[in-house]
Amino acid sequence: QVQLQESGPGLVKSSGSLSLTCAVSDYAIVSGCFWGWVRQPPGRGLEWIGTIYQDGSRYYNPSLKSRVTTSVDRSKNQFSLRLSFVTPADTAVYYCAKTMTAAGGHLGTFDYWGQGALVTVSS
Amino acid sequence: QSALTQPASVSGSLGQSITISCTGTSSDVGGYNYVSWYQQHPGKAPKLLVYDVNKWPSGVSNRFSGSKSGNTASLTISGLQADDEADYFCSSYAGSDTFIFGGGTQLTVL
């Protein structure tokens, strides 16, 4: 059973950067699927942030693309998210997730999710 | 990119069937057969119910079924159970290596 666990600071100051890491267990990160990030502001819907492949290929939400960076660390079997120039509007639960396959149309089809990490941006 | 349009809420009685719609455009829902549906209980991570419009991941009940007509996808839940009370989100591939979610629908089981 694939397990994902987000970790990182729960409080970030405005104009700073948000950094999260997702540790993957019981599944090799190089096993042929994408790895993604989704966020959910309190009481609101889901927003796709971006997806990364094991070879470093990156795919981002156009509305966040200028502020987002993702990376994969194959040696640690984990992947990471960095969101720059944050504002209180970036306050959300951030989820990391695994896609079903490596097909392009599935880069946002997530079959396993982490429990989520609440990140609050203070003004 | 605008979020896919879902009704804010739907309700149904135990044992009944309900359908949740998800409307997009020809650039997302209508253009690809990569529509998925998720169930989310309060405080929990989303759970994949349906992918590729009408396929089930392993372990998901066939009470949840998906379909698509034109730019609108639908999720039908048959034989409503108390535990089905949750939020439901659709998502779709939107071309150019991007993805989009719907705004979500709150299901109340009466």
Question: Is the Cβ of A63 closer than 8 Å to some Cβ of chain B?
Answer: yes
In this structure, are strands A110-113 and A3-7 parallel, antiparallel, or unpaired? Answer: unpaired
**pLDDT digits over A93-107, tens only?**
999 999 988 887 788
Q: Which CA distances in Å does A84 have to A12, A70, A81?
A: 11, 11, 10
Please give the structure tokens belonging to residue B7.
């009704």
Of the pLDDT bands very low, low, confident and very high (cuts 50, 70, 90), residue B38 is very high
Identity (one letter) of the amino acid at A92? A
Q: What is the CA radius of gyration of chain A?
A: 13
Average pLDDT, chain B: 96
Coil, strand, or helix at residue A55? coil
* Beta-carbon separation of A105 and B93 below 8 A: yes
SS3 content of chain A, % helix, strand, coil (to 5): 5, 50, 45
**pLDDT digits over A25-42, tens only?**
999 998 888 999 999 999
pLDDT in tens, chain A (123 residues): 899 999 999 999 999 999 999 999 999 998 888 999 999 999 999 999 999 998 889 999 999 999 999 999 999 999 999 999 999 999 999 999 999 888 877 888 999 999 999 999 998
* Beta-carbon separation of A61 and B1 below 8 A: yes
pLDDT for residue A121? 97
In this structure, are strands B9-12 and B105-109 parallel, antiparallel, or unpaired? Answer: parallel
**Cβ–Cβ under 8 Å, residues B35 and B52:** yes
